[in-house]
Structure 1
Amino acid sequence: MTIIIRNATQEDVNQVAPLIYDAIGDIANRLTGESSEHKILEQLELLFCQNDNRHSYLNTYVAVNEIDSLKILGILVLYSGEDGIKMDTALQNWLKIKHGKTIKIDQEAHLDEFYVDTICVHEKCRGLGIGTKLLQFAEEIAMQKGFTKISLNVETKKDNARRLYESIGYVVTEPWTIIDEPFHHMVKKL
């Protein structure tokens, strides 16, 4: 199977939103201000189709099979730490208008890092190397944009994921907190 990674389009929304939700879990509640799965997915779809937030189609890449380029096998959401702050400000403003209160969005990367916000492979396609291809692609994009390091956060309880990232060169650099949950902040020098 030949995997192609391409920029996401707004037409990908119905396949991408569930993968974002699968990857980020409870963080989606905070990002959308919703609690039911149906409403969370609805709001993730809305955010994906906009252009000013972290989960916009503009920051998303999709892995597809060369033969069936309409079926998304995996996703990757990337941006700079500096852009993350700008996008999160826009997201906080949207949430304030929507709910009438301020909902804090946690910073997830340092300003000088290129950040892998979300990576998820469809459950039926796991173990085929798609996640590794997506991470390699992320590194290529980071280097093209002039970054010397790429980062991600992994929940402290996800030992297998941490070991996978370590096996491809990521190093735990510090503890991190997202929605009051402990994460490892991991960085790879490029």
Structure 2
Amino acid sequence: MSFPGLSEISIRPAQPGDAAFVAEMVYLSMGKLADYLFEGARGPVITLIHKLVTRNAGRFGSRIAFVAEANGRPLGVMVSCEGVRLDALNLAVIPHLFPVMGTASALRFLWRGFWLPGGREAEKDEYYVSNVGVHPFAQGQGIGSRLLAHAERTGQSAGLTKCALVVGLYNRNALRLYQRLGYRIIETVQHPSGFLGYHRMVKDI
């Protein structure tokens, strides 16, 4: 399969019509964490995330998502925001969970989320990249790097001097990419599950 040159790839804010693709890429970026929080398999979990994206549910909302595309074809997604907004965006998810998941499942989601290991994902002086997902057919083309560069420019425009993200301990390919782009590990959180542990990484921008 041929791919467009990187010069032809553009990054734009997500639109309502992107909700299904955003949901798929958010699921891809979350990996086993999504299955753990939403208590399901790939298809049903993507459906739940799609509903949250459509409702602009806090950190799952399309209003903080960006789409990388070429010739109108979506290739990847980044969800990002100023670190100072993250607590409010987390809280904003809660009222949407109950109509989307039902009371019992929503309460279990919140319980599992509350007991996730580690501390803050981002500090208030950082620009935070919550999710980066590139469709499998487009991986290895530098699209993830382009999305992260967009995050760094956005953070600079907001007057911030650092960009932050977290990466699962199991995701060694992503870790190598982030290190190659100048992100450094500042905290490592271990967990017996193997998939809940992560590195918190920061880059000066």
What range is the shorter-chain TM-score in? 0.7 to 0.9
Aligned residue for 1:42? Answer: 47
Provide the C-alpha distance between the structure 2 equivalents of 1:122 and 1:50, rounded to a whole number of angstroms: 23
Aligned residue for 1:150? Answer: 163
Say if 1:16 and 1:141 are closer, same or farther in 2 by CA, change over 3 A: same
> 3-state SS of the aligned residue for 1:64?
strand
Aligned residue for 2:142? Answer: 129
1:6 partnered with 2:12: yes
> 3-state SS of the aligned residue for 2:140?
coil
| 1:181 maps to which of 191, 196, 202 | 196
Deviates more, 1:174-183 or 1:147-156: 174-183
Provide the C-alpha distance between the structure 1 equivalents of 2:122 and 2:198, rounded to a whole number of angstroms: 12
> How far off is 1:26 after superposition?
2.5
1:27 partnered with 2:33: yes
- How high is the sequence identity, in percent, across the aligned residues? 30
| Stretches of 4+ aligned residues off by more than 4 angstroms | 177-180
Aligned residue for 1:92? Answer: 94
> How far off is 1:165 after superposition?
0.8
Aligned residue for 1:54? Answer: 59
> How far off is 1:177 after superposition?
6.4
Deviations 1:132-178 (A, max 9, x none): 11111110011111111010111122223212211111010012469
Structure-2-length-normalised TM-score: 0.81
1:118 partnered with 2:131: yes
> 3-state SS of the aligned residue for 2:60?
coil
Provide the C-alpha distance between the structure 2 equivalents of 1:18 and 1:52, rounded to a whole number of angstroms: 16
Say if 1:49 and 1:95 are closer, same or farther in 2 by CA, change over 3 A: closer
1:170 partnered with 2:188: no
Provide the C-alpha distance between the structure 2 equivalents of 1:14 and 1:94, rounded to a whole number of angstroms: 17
> 3-state SS of the aligned residue for 1:152?
strand
Counterpart AA for 1:14: A
Say if 1:14 and 1:93 are closer, same or farther in 2 by CA, change over 3 A: closer
Deviates more, 1:100-109 or 1:53-62: 100-109
Say if 1:176 and 1:58 are closer, same or farther in 2 by CA, change over 3 A: farther
Counterpart AA for 1:99: T
Provide the C-alpha distance between the structure 2 equivalents of 1:27 and 1:129, rounded to a whole number of angstroms: 25
Say if 1:38 and 1:133 are closer, same or farther in 2 by CA, change over 3 A: same
Runs (5+) with no aligned partner, structure 1: none
